[in-house]
């Protein structure tokens, strides 16, 4: 296993230059869940999935929409600011990580779910790879991209050992398109210190190309040892790339379509304290449905609805254009 992962890691980096132009899903699915099988939807992840992260702004998160669209019952465990594990990418936020907090919270909840009717989903990596993670070397030596990815994949094995059988593994998005990481980014709530924005753009582009490739190989290796499991890969990378490149197919607000400037755009001065009081421009009402991003780090509610519609299709029918079942 270790040798194969080292080889995969090397191949992934060598192919990173063209990986961004390709989808990471296989052309052929195998197995998978059946239509009408899933009644319960259990979610893990970071602020992209946390159902309370933006409730103060009256924003409904995508898992709520996905459960609504699919008529399933949602059990949310994702936490804002989460990484996969403190042992790989230490963060200064207590009680948020997948392995140290979210999985124990799920196990402690003793939900007594029918596992054949339950789909478990994980969407993690934005913080592990970003400015609080590997981008600035905030990893526990000698941990690297391979360890971050392996940690996320190990979420499948851990839940399998506790009875789970149906999994949807969501890939990271093209993080170099997120406003904080673009080459023309500006000082914002999440970073006001000086930086080389072009280097951040290139690094995040490489990270978010390599990690889905690694996860694909690791999951294919893992499923061979999970009899009775259904493991699907949701190609969030390609979905978000499609939303960026074809916004007219996904956004329907009353403002001009915008995949670069967020709804809440807050410009700070260099080295200004990162509070929520910068020079902000905030779109209102139905104009918001024209935007891909909520702020410099997070997707908009409409992006969430787009994602939710696709995940709901997986839950309801077992099939989806962005989803490949490995088993």
Q: How far apart are CA 59 and CA 303, in angstroms?
A: 12
Span 55-112, pLDDT tens digits: 999 999 999 999 999 999 999 999 999 999 999 999 999 999 999 999 999 999 999 9
**Residue 257 in domain:** no
Element (H, E) at 223: helix 197-223
Q: What is the pLDDT of residue 272?
A: 86
Whether the CB-CB separation of 83 and 89 falls below 8 Å is answered with yes
Q: How far apart are CA 84 and CA 97, in angstroms?
A: 6
How far lies 240's CA from each of 10, 91, 263, 306, in Å?
26, 26, 17, 9
Q: pTM of the entire structure? A: 0.93
- Total of domains in the chain: 1
Q: What is the pLDDT of residue 30?
A: 77
Residues with pLDDT less than 50, the chain: 1-10, 12-17, 23, 25
Tokens 């996969």 correspond to 84
Q: What is the pLDDT of residue 20?
A: 58
Q: What is the pLDDT of residue 273?
A: 80
- Give the three-class secondary structure for 83: coil
Q: Which residues of 121-141 are buried (b: 16+ CB within 10 A; e: fewer)?
A: bbbbbbbbbbbbbbbeebbee
**Residue 226 in domain:** yes
Q: What is the pLDDT of residue 17?
A: 42
**Residue 267 in domain:** no
Q: How far apart are CA 58 and CA 64, in angstroms?
A: 13
Query: Which CATH number characterizes residue 74's domain?
Result: 3.40.50.1110
**Residue 266 in domain:** no
**Residue 309 in domain:** yes
**Residue 10 in domain:** no
**Residue 61 in domain:** yes
* 78's tokens: 């994702």
Residue 44 lies in domain? 30-239+300-325
Q: How far apart are CA 111 and CA 47, in angstroms?
A: 23
**Residue 291 in domain:** no
DSSP letters spanning 14-79: HTHHHHTTS--S-SS--S-PPTT---EEEEEESTTT-TTTTGGGT---HHHHHHHHHT-EEEE---
Burial of 193 (0-12, 13-18, 19+ CB in 10 A): exposed
């Amino acid at each position: 296993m270790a040798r194969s992962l080292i080889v995969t890691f090397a191949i992934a980096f060598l192919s990173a230059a063209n990986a961004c132009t390709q989808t990471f899903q296989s052309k052929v699915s195998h197995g998978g869940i059946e239509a009408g099988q899933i009644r319960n939807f259990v979610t893990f992840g970071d602020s992209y999935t946390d159902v309370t992260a933006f409730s103060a702004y009256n924003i409904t998160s995508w898992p709520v929409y996905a459960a609504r669209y699919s008529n399933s019952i949602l059990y949310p465990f994702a936490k804002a600011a989460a990484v996969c594990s403190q042992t790989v990418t230490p963060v200064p936020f207590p009680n948020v990580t997948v392995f140290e907090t979210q999985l124990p919270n799920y196990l402690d909840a003793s939900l007594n779910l029918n596992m054949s009717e339950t789909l478990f989903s994980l969407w993690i990596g934005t913080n592990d790879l970003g400015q609080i993670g590997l981008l600035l070397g905030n990893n526990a030596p000698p941990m690297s991209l391979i360890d971050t990815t392996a940690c996320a994949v190990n979420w499948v094995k851990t839940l399998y050992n506790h009875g789970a059988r149906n999994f949807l593994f969501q890939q990271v998005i093209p993080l170099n398109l997120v406003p904080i990481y673009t080459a023309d980014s500006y000082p914002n709530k999440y970073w006001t210190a000086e930086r080389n924005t072009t280097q951040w753009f290139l690094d995040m582009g490489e990270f978010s190309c390599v990690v889905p490739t690694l996860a694909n190989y690791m999951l294919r290796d893992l499923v061979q040892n999970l009899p009775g499991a259904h493991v699907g890969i949701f190609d969030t990378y390609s979905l978000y790339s499609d939303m960026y490149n074809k916004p007219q197919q996904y956004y329907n607000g009353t403002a001009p379509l915008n995949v670069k400037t967020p709804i809440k755009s807050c410009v700070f001065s260099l080295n200004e304290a990162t509070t929520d009081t910068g020079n902000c421009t905030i779109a209102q009402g139905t104009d918001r449905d024209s935007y891909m991003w909520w702020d410099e780090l997070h997707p908009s509610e409409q992006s969430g609805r787009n994602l939710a519609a696709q995940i709901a299709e997986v839950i309801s029918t077992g099939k989806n254009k962005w989803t490949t079942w490995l088993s």
